[in-house]
Structures are given as C-alpha cells and as structure tokens.
Structure 1
Amino acid sequence: MIKLQHVSKTFRVGKNRIEALKDVSLEVHKGEIFGVIGFSGAGKSTLIRCVNLLERPTSGQVVVDGENVLQLNKTRLRLLRRKIGMIFQGYNLLETANVYENVATPLKLEGVPKEEIKARTEKYLEIVGLSDRKNAFPSQLSGGQKQRVAIARALAHEPEVLLSDEATSALDPNTTDAILELLLKVNKELGITIFLITHELNVIQRICDRVAVMENGRVVEQGTVVDVFTQPQQPMTRRFISTESKFQIPETVKSDLLKSGRLVKLTFIGESSKDPVLATLAKQYDVLPSIIAGGIDQLKDQSVGRLLVHLKGDEAKVGTAIDFLHDQDVLVEEVKN
C-alpha cells in the first residue's frame, strides 16, 4: 500500500544543512496499522508528511497504491491525496464553524454533491460518536471530542489510508484510550490502512501490527510489535521499552542470588503465558524457582508476561530446566554479574 524506498530529506536553514531523513525504507501493508516511534527530533513528522508530499523528499521514492507520488502532476497528485486522510495533534478545526460544518466544508470545496455531503457527514459523525454534538462549536468541545471531529473530517473523504501525526499526544490517558479504540474500529470495520507516528509506547502496544523505531533520521529497527517488543535489538528500542527497569534489584541482592543459583529473565508470549511452566520445573526437574519481579503487558492481539526468576538446584538439573523452558517457547535471558 505504501512503500518508502531510500527516502532522504535535507532542509537548508541559512547556510546549514539539516538531514531530517537518512535513507529510510519501510513498507506499510494494506489493511494494517503501522506505527513509527521515536523521540522528538527523530524525523517522524517529516517522514509521514512525505507520504502525501506535504514534504517532498530530497531523494528516494514514495509509492502509494502502486503510484510513485514524486512523478505525479498536480491533477493526479490531488486525486491521490483524496485517498489519503490525515489527522494532526492540533486538530486544525475551523473555530467559527460548528461540528457539522467542519466535516462538510472540505467536501463542499471538493465539489461533492449536496446530498452526498449530508449523507457522509452524518455517517461519519455517527461512527465517531458525535451525532448529538453536530451543532456545537470547537470551543464547546473537549480535546477528545475535537480529535473525533478531525477523524470524522478525514474519514468523510472516504480514504484508503489514514495518516496520524501524533494524534493522541495532547490528550489525557483516558481520552487517549478512547481515541485508540476508535482507530481500531476504523481499521477493522472500514478496512482503512493506518500509518501513524508517535512518541508514546502505549499507542504502539495497543493498536499497531508492526512498528519502526527511528533515531536521528534513520530507521534503526522494525518488525512486528511482538518481535520488537519482546526481543529489542537496538539500544534506542530498549530505551523505549525500558524492560530493564522492571527488573532493577540491588546489586548486593543480585550477587547473593547468583551465588545460590541462576538468575533468568523469562518472557511469555500469548499461549505460553497460560502454561504452569514454573510449577513443572519444581515437580519434574527438582529445581526451585523463585519469582523476584515481573509484570504483564497487553499488546494489540496478545499479552506478554515477563518474570525475573531465581532458579536454585543442581547445576545440571537447572540447565535441563532451562532447555525445557526454551522448548515451551519461553524466551530466556540469563542475568550475569
């Protein structure tokens, strides 16, 4: 659906050159929710704005639905942009227009017939849950309601792709959850592909199928959310996920535990989290497992459990027990001094 191939973008500020994007390649599949995460200045906003040419890449290719957007003339680019809706952190609503008019006005400017405008506006206000607020003005709405208007406005063009530029970063946690549920609904029920950028790990965990991690204008890691979340390869990814913070124990305690056994970090994905594997270690392998720390994270389609476990017993039996854990699809990482 969307292919970015070796995309770079350089800005000139006076005599200085700023490389916002450096040889970025990624692909967003039709019907999925793809997220890009990174800290401020990573290049996320520039990247997503290259998809509909709000920013034109310095080099590389941007292919949307089989068309290289960099080769389109103004007329064809305008038609392609109708397939691409976009929502922003700042809502971009008309303050002097009510909710209905904010959704309907862009359709009027496109020349959509009057009856079609009415039908679409009412349909998408219903989908976002604002039918009863259609006569309200933006100043009378909460932040979450304003974002729902912006989503309805984008959907009213009936796009195939929805771009989300930090759409939840100005919202409180409860409102963020409600907007994420709405985006899941839009993706599932309307079949719209969603390409979003964020600095919030919760957004990626909750709704994305795949993710790319950006740092200093580059994509440093990408893959399924489960793979990247459970087995991060790059320091930047580990900083976002912060798995280490869940297992912080005093060095003296860690030293004592390592003297009397082995310390392992266990990650349980999906079905593996339901099996009583630690009980099996005690019963079948004569190994005593003690849980030191742990927690559960909920991803879009499955849960991920993490435990820091002390394994005490005969060294050979502990080794066999760890082999058993591997066989049960549990990810095992041994903690050393």
Structure 2
Amino acid sequence: MIKLENVTKVFPSKKGKDVTALDDVSISVNKGEIHGVIGYSGAGKSTLIRCVNLLESPSKGKVWIDGTDLTKLSKEKLRQTRQKVGMIFQHFNLLRTASVYDNIAIPLKLLGVPKAEVKERVMKYLDIVDLSEKKDAYPSQLSGGQKQRVAIARALSQEPQVLLSDEATSALDPETTNSILELLLKINAELGITILLITHEMNVIQKICDYVYVIENGNLIEQGSTIELFTKPKQPTTKKFLNTISQRKLSDRLIDELNLEGKVIRLTFLGENTGQPLLSKVTQQFYVEPNILTANIIELKNGIVGNLVVHLIGSEHQVEHSLSFLKEQGVEVEELGVN
C-alpha cells in the first residue's frame, strides 16, 4: 500500500553545506497494517512522512501509494491521489472560528462533495470518534484529546485508504494518548485503513504497531516486527528507546560488581514462556541462585514480552548449563557487562 524506494531528501543550505534529511531510505507498508517510525528530534521522521504524500518532494527515489508512483504524476493527478491519503498532526490544525461540524464539512465542500453527502459523512465520522454531541462546539471549548478526535474525523471524512500520523499524540497527556491510540486501533480494525505513524514515544509503538522502523540522522538503522525489536534489539538507539518503557538499564558499575561472582543476565520471554516458572526449574536442576534485579511484562499489539535482569550465582559450569537450558526453552539470553 505504501512504499518508499531509496528515498533521499536534501535541503539546500545558504551556508553552502546541504543538509541530508533522508539518506537512501526504503520502507514498505502492507495494506491494513500499522507501521511506526521512531527516532529522536532531528532524525528525519517528519521529512519521511511528508515525503509519503509529496508534501516534500524527494531529491532521489520513488514513492508508491497503492501501486502508483507519485513522483511521476502531474499536479492534477497528484491532487487526486492525495485524496486517498489522510493526515493528522500534533497541533490539530483546526479552524478556530468554525464549529466542529464545519471543521469537517468545509474541506468536503471544497472537494465538491454533494451537500447531503457532506452531512452524512460528518455525522458518520463524528460518531466513529465519539464526538457527535460536540458537533456545534468550537475548538476553544474542547480538550486536547477532543480536538485530535475532530482532526481524525476530518481526515477520515475524505475516506482515505491511508492515514498518516505526524506525532499525533505528542501534545497529549498519557491517559488521553491511550484513548487516541485505542481509536486508531479501532479505525484500523473496522475501516481497514493502513496507518503509518511517526513518534518519539516507544509506548506508542508498543501499543498499536505491527512493524517498526528506527531512524537516526536520516538513516534507517533497524527495522522489524514490533515483537522482534522488543525481544532482539540490535542498535544502541533502539535499546535506549526500550529503556524508556522497561526497567532494562542498570549502571555499568553495579553490573561489574555483580559479575565478580556469577553473571548478570538479561532474559527475554515471549508469549507463553512469560508464564512459565523457568527460573524455579533452573534453581532445582542446576543448583544456581537467581537474584532478580529488574522485571516487567510488556503488552504489545501482537503479543506479550517479559524482561528479567537476573544475577545468577553458582559455579561457571552450573551457570553455563542453566543458560543453555533457558535458550532451549526459547528464552533470549544476553550477558551484561561482557565486552
């Protein structure tokens, strides 16, 4: 449904040194899936998502929506194709002097949608976002979450095949963020809309994404299913993002001290293994003493991941056998403090 093929975006600089915001980036989003792009400020996330509907034209590469290469279209054909792509933003972009109803209706009228159909669509999508009773209210009378719901209804009213989300929850408190994410899941499930979002918040990826891309300095440095990245992160930046939502990080000093006797191990459990008493079995079978340092369970859209950081005390032989046993049970094992 969405495909970026070797996209590079370079911004000219008056100081003489051009800025490469995206460098040979390729992504592919299948119909009906939710993909997320995560990175720190300045990583290139916003440029990437603006290239999807050609709000920014790539310096190199191709952009495909539903099999059509947007970079080859005339202005008129591009305008028509963009109607397949809805977009929501961090700051809502509502008309302050227009009611909720008119904020959704005005773009439809400008597109030439018949009056009767305009009313039908406005009420249909206000109902989907649970704001029917606010149709006569003005933006100043709404909370941040309600404003974002209006923006989502406005995007949906054009009945797109794709929805782009540009940091749509960044200005919202955690509870409101969760409600908006639940709404996006509902839209994806009930309307079949493909969603591509950008964020700097790992909890957004955790809650709704099927697949994730990690971007840094304009480069895609890691990608995979959400479960893969949560269980087997490779890049330091990915691990830093994971540390923001799970108690994964211990100080190097503490790890070095503990490694003087036994080993400090990160264990990652997936699916049914999260409920198995594997540490108890290790204690009984291999005579090692596990001391749990940190532990948590993370619920993803498509599964459950458990994380334990454990200090295993015992002879080197016993510890190695216990680690082999855990690996055989499908547990990801990472020794900490090993250079």
- Do the two structures share a fold, i.e. TM-score over 0.5? yes
For 1:298, give the aligned amino acid: E
Cα distance in 2 for residues equivalent to 1:233 and 1:13: 34
Match of 2:164 in 1: 163
Q: Are the equivalent residues in 2 in contact too, given 1:247–1:294 (CA < 8 A)?
A: no
Cα distance in 2 for residues equivalent to 1:50 and 1:167: 17
1:6 partnered with 2:6: yes
- Relative distance call for 1:67 and 1:303 in structure 2 (3 A) is same
- Relative distance call for 1:250 and 1:224 in structure 2 (3 A) is closer
Distance apart, 1:227 and its partner CA = 1.1
Q: Are the equivalent residues in 2 in contact too, given 1:11–1:18 (CA < 8 A)?
A: yes
Distance apart, 1:153 and its partner CA = 0.3
For 2:182, give the aligned amino acid: E
For 2:169, give the aligned amino acid: T
Cα distance in 1 for residues equivalent to 2:298 and 2:25: 29
Cα distance in 1 for residues equivalent to 2:284 and 2:20: 58
Distance apart, 1:63 and its partner CA = 0.8
Match of 1:248 in 2: 250
Distance apart, 1:283 and its partner CA = 2.2
Q: Are the equivalent residues in 1 in contact too, given 2:282–2:288 (CA < 8 A)?
A: yes
Using the TM superposition, name which of 58-67 and 285-294 deviates more. Answer: 285-294
For 2:220, give the aligned amino acid: V
Q: Are the equivalent residues in 2 in contact too, given 1:86–1:154 (CA < 8 A)?
A: yes
Q: Are the equivalent residues in 2 in contact too, given 1:38–1:215 (CA < 8 A)?
A: yes
Match of 2:95 in 1: 94
For 1:119, give the aligned amino acid: E
Q: Are the equivalent residues in 2 in contact too, given 1:268–1:331 (CA < 8 A)?
A: yes
**CA-to-aligned-CA distance 1:197-228 (integer Å, 9 cap, x gap):** 11111111111111111111111111111111
1:293 partnered with 2:264: no
Distance apart, 1:170 and its partner CA = 0.7
Cα distance in 1 for residues equivalent to 2:87 and 2:249: 39
Regions of 4+ moved over 6 Å:
none
Using the TM superposition, name which of 256-265 and 294-303 deviates more. Answer: 256-265
CA-atom RMSD, angstroms? 1.7
Match of 1:209 in 2: 210
Cα distance in 1 for residues equivalent to 2:74 and 2:252: 63
Distance apart, 1:229 and its partner CA = 2.1
For 1:136, give the aligned amino acid: A
Distance apart, 1:117 and its partner CA = 1.0
Identity %: 57
Corresponding residue SS for 1:121: helix
Match of 2:304 in 1: 303
For 2:96, give the aligned amino acid: E
Cα distance in 2 for residues equivalent to 1:201 and 1:256: 30
TM-score (norm 1): 0.95
1:51 partnered with 2:46: no
- Relative distance call for 1:169 and 1:291 in structure 2 (3 A) is same
Match of 2:226 in 1: 225
Q: Are the equivalent residues in 1 in contact too, given 2:3–2:28 (CA < 8 A)?
A: yes
Cα distance in 1 for residues equivalent to 2:39 and 2:241: 8
Corresponding residue SS for 1:248: coil
Distance apart, 1:286 and its partner CA = 2.6
Structure 1, unpaired ranges of 5+: none
For 2:43, give the aligned amino acid: A
Matches within 5 A, 1:66-105: 66-105=67-106
Match of 2:275 in 1: 274
Using the TM superposition, name which of 201-210 and 286-295 deviates more. Answer: 286-295
Cα distance in 1 for residues equivalent to 2:257 and 2:102: 67
For 1:85, give the aligned amino acid: G
Match of 1:236 in 2: 237
TM-score (norm 2): 0.95
Distance apart, 1:122 and its partner CA = 0.5
